[in-house]
Amino acid sequence: MTQTPITTPPPPEDATERLENAIELKEVEGLSQGQIVFRRFVRHKGAMTAAAVLLLVILLATTSIGIGPIDGWWQFDHIRTHPTAIPGGRPTLQVGLDGITIGAHPFGQDDIGRDLFARVMFGTQRSLLVMVLIGVLATTIGITFGALSGFFRGRVDTFLMRLTDMVITIPIIVVGAVLGKAFGGGNAVLLGLALGLVTWTTMSRLVRGDFLSLREREFVDAARVAGASNGRIMFKHMLPNAIGVIIVNTTLLMASAIILETSLSYLGFGVSAPDISLGQLINDYQSAFATRPWLFWWPGLFIIIIALCVNFIGDGLRDAFDPRQRKIPSKRKMRQG
């Protein structure tokens, strides 16, 4: 090692060198890649609103009736029956000139007097749980399969991709129904895990594509020459560069997961009584649509809110990760400057 550290300061011409792409760099000065993405995400108004609404829904669903053994602040639960507050069990929630009155049963009661608010909150919890389970499991499997086949190519790739093809060819609703019936038995956790096992295909395809192009990049060669092992190249060098695709696809996957869960439960193959989910509530009350339509609307509203929010967040993330997406300043603002 003949290293003799020179401690001369950088030559003065370095200053001119820095100016080379100075204007483009103004926007990203001193920020890491992650911080730049976060900045762009925060600027996306739709996504920020969606994130706020989703957070609100989660807070409402968890604090009101509590989680598991922990009690919430809401007085009723989703099982017990109560005498009807308003004839017909109509919602007591009223928005009038004299402000908002919540009443005893804001979302109304069903035909045997159960509190619909508590039931919707419980259903929301269940649906969100299934959504997260599907998201986590499908993402993990998808990344692993996609990364392996994209990195190693050849036989590994052929095997994993044919496996993917096989899963893709079977309609997901059929697989979901069979798995849900076989393992779920009405249990939300098992249903989520079962569905996660069949929804990873898109993710693995996308990650594979990204890895195929990333492995041709020179920094991967550089890491290899530096002596990095395959595992290190995959996880330290390539995976962080594919994170954009992964995060965006995860959110889209979750949005479709909640729809899948509700449709399965609606068909009677997913979560079934006594367990509750939003889809199962709609299924339960479909006969009452003519007489007590609110039993239908409230769970429906929550399904829409959740699916929309997750989709919007995914949209915002996609824009944030796309380097070509630049905020174009408005004409008016530019004129002021």
Partner 1 sequence: MTTETTAPATEPILAVDNLGVDFWVDGEWYPAAVDVSYEVRPGEVLAIVGESGSGKTQSSMSLIGLLPANGRATGSAKLAGRELIGLSHSRLRHVRGNDVAVIFQEPMTALNPVYTVGFQIIETLRTHREIGPKQARERAIELLTMVEIPNPELSVDKYPHQLSGGQRQRAMIAQALALDPKLLIADEPTTALDVTVQAEILKLMRDLRHRIDSGIVLITHDMGVVADLADRILVMKDGRIVERGTADDIFNRPQHAYTQQLLSAVPHLGSQSFSQDTVVGTARVTERARPAAHGSAEGGADVFVAKDLVIEYPKRGRIPAFRAVDGIDLTIGQGEVVGLVGESGSGKTTVGRAAVGLLPVVGGSLTIGGHEMRGIGSKELRQVRDHVSIVFQDPGSSLNPRLPIGESIGEPLFLHKIAKGAELDRRVESLLDQVHLARGMRNRYPHELSGGQRQRVGIARALALSPKLLVADEPTSALDVSVQARVLELFQELQREYGFACLFISHDLAVVEILSERIAVMHKGKLVEQGPREQILRSPEQDYTRRLLSAVPVPNPAEQRKRREMRDRLLEEAAARTGMRKTVVSVDEIEAAGGGIQTRSDTNP
**CB of 99 vs partner 1, minimal distance in Å:** 41
Q: Which is nearer to partner 1, 23 or 112 (CB)?
A: 23
**CB of 237 vs partner 1, minimal distance in Å:** 5
**CB of 206 vs partner 1, minimal distance in Å:** 18
Q: Which is nearer to partner 1, 213 or 291 (CB)?
A: 213
The two three-digit tokens of residue 158, written as one number: 């052929």
- Per the CB < 8 A criterion, the answer to whether 306 and 127 are in contact is yes
Residues that bind partner 1 (CB under 8 A): 1-11, 13-14, 17-23, 25-30, 32-33, 217-219, 221-228, 232, 237, 240-241, 326, 328-329, 333-334, 337
Spatial distance between the Cα atoms of 152 and 212, rounded to a whole number of angstroms: 9
Residue 233: count of CB within 10 angstroms of its CB: 20
Q: Which is nearer to partner 1, 98 or 218 (CB)?
A: 218
**CB of 336 vs partner 1, minimal distance in Å:** 9
- Per the CB < 8 A criterion, the answer to whether 126 and 258 are in contact is no
Q: Which is nearer to partner 1, 112 or 326 (CB)?
A: 326
Q: Which is nearer to partner 1, 9 or 83 (CB)?
A: 9
Torsion angle defined by CA atoms of residues 67, 68, 74 and 80, in that order, rounded to the nearest 10 degrees: 150
**CB of 233 vs partner 1, minimal distance in Å:** 10
Residue 258 vs residues 118, 195, 250, 262: alpha-carbon distances, Å: 20, 11, 12, 6
* Residue among 333, 320, 251 at smallest CA distance from 45: 320
